Amino acid sequence: MNFEQYKRWLEKKANREERGALEVVKAILKHHNSDGTWKEFFFPRTVFKGMEFDLIIFLAKKKKKLEEADYFDRVIGVEFKETDVKRVIKQAILRKEYVDYQYIATRDVYMDYPDVFLLTLFGIGWVVWGKGFAKIVVPARMRDISYRVDHLVNELINVKLKGVIEDAIQKKLTEFLKKS
């Protein structure tokens, strides 16, 4: 569905958490499609790659034809919660690997440092909404799971190797000093 169809859908079917959805979508699109070069398609409360999303936004280059296999160039997921920050962050983390950009949308709520850390670690965006406004507080980063996992694994291996090497040197040094 296009933006106008999504707007009508919200008028009929929006739940309490989706009251600010229109403003949230406008803020996200202003960030990701400010120059209007993308076609926008909206899929509310849909299952995408086996995972249920509150909203999926597909962006496709306007010059592409519908028949092209890689029609959607960007996939944006949005999870809405009024105040349950911890739950919506968990949902967003689980859904992040299925989309290019993942956002959470909440009312103007307090967020602990660990929550903000999780958002930034996983590249999840945060949109705060209220009556008649929405603001991106943290922009989403493009999905890049492989880099993050590789980086973490390499760091763990380096730390372990450093300990093993230090232990081996200490053992050899102790043996050498005992012989002298």
- Domain segments of the chain: what residues? 3-143, 144-180
Nearest to 24, CA basis, from 98, 100, 94, 108 = 108
Model confidence at 146: pLDDT above 60 = no
Three-state DSSP class for residue 69? coil
Tokens describing residue 148: 């993050």
Could you tell me if 27 and 135 are in contact, meaning their C-beta atoms sit under 8 angstroms apart?
A: yes
Could you tell me if 79 and 53 are in contact, meaning their C-beta atoms sit under 8 angstroms apart?
A: yes
How many Å apart are CA 108 and CA 110, to the nearest integer? 7
Tokens describing residue 137: 């507080």
Model confidence at 12: pLDDT above 80 = yes
How many Å apart are CA 173 and CA 171, to the nearest integer? 5
Beta-sheet pairing, 101-106 with 74-80: parallel
Four-way CATH pick for 3-143: 3.40.1350, 1.10.3470, 1.20.950, 3.20.20: 3.40.1350
More confident residue, 4 or 34: 4
Least confident of 73-87, 122-136, 157-171: 157-171
